[in-house]
Amino acid sequence: MKRKEYFLKLIETIDVLKHESKNGTPILVEGKKDIASLKKLGVDGNFITVSHIPFFEIADELVKQGIKDVILLTDFDRTGKRYAREIINELESRGINVNKNIRRDIIRYSHGDLKDIESLYHYIVKNKKFKHRYGI
């Protein structure tokens, strides 16, 4: 797959994220800068920050609210990967489905150029300008 095709797949992944969030699926992120980046991309919805809160408390609240599905968007660095593993274990043990596909696809279609969610907006804007400038 060429870079252009990967970029288009990344845009499609963002569109899927927008659709899921509009349907009420909560999005788990690490912090406020992640939320700001996603909102700039047009993703709006129920964001839950997971840093500085024990994962069992997040799970307790989701269960209490009757939430059955969430989207996991932790960062792609070592800490984000650890958060992802621990969150997946905690939530799935409580019967909550964790959508890991969007996170996986963002990593895949950005060629590993991204280290965190907060950089996603700038990555997309930079690539859109490049692709427009060179007619790609």
Q: CA 13 to CA 103: how far, in whole Å?
A: 9
DSSP string, 9-57: HHHHHHHHHHHHHHTT--EEESSHHHHHHHHHTT--S-EEE-TTS-HHH
CATH of the domain spanning 3-125, picked from 3.40.1360.10, 3.90.550.10, 3.40.190.10, 2.102.10.10: 3.40.1360.10
- pLDDT band (50, 70, 90) for residue 15: very high
Look at residue 132 in the predicted model and tell me its pLDDT. Answer: 54
Q: 2 or 114: whose pLDDT is higher?
A: 114
CA 59 – CA 41 distance, rounded (Å): 27
Decide if 13 contacts 105 (C-beta within 8 A): yes
pLDDT at 134: 39
The tens digit of pLDDT for each residue in 43-85 reads 999 999 999 999 999 999 999 999 999 999 999 999 999 999 9
Cα dihedral 97, 45, 32, 10, rounded to 10, equals 70
pTM equals 0.90
Confidence at residue 92, expressed as pLDDT on a 0 to 100 scale: 97
Per-residue confidence (pLDDT) for residue 3, from 0 to 100: 76
Beta bridge partners of 6: none
Burial status of residue 136 (CB atoms within 10 A of its CB: 0-12, 13-18, 19 or more): exposed
Q: What is the pLDDT of residues 91-120, one digit of tens each?
A: 999 999 999 999 999 999 998 889 999 999
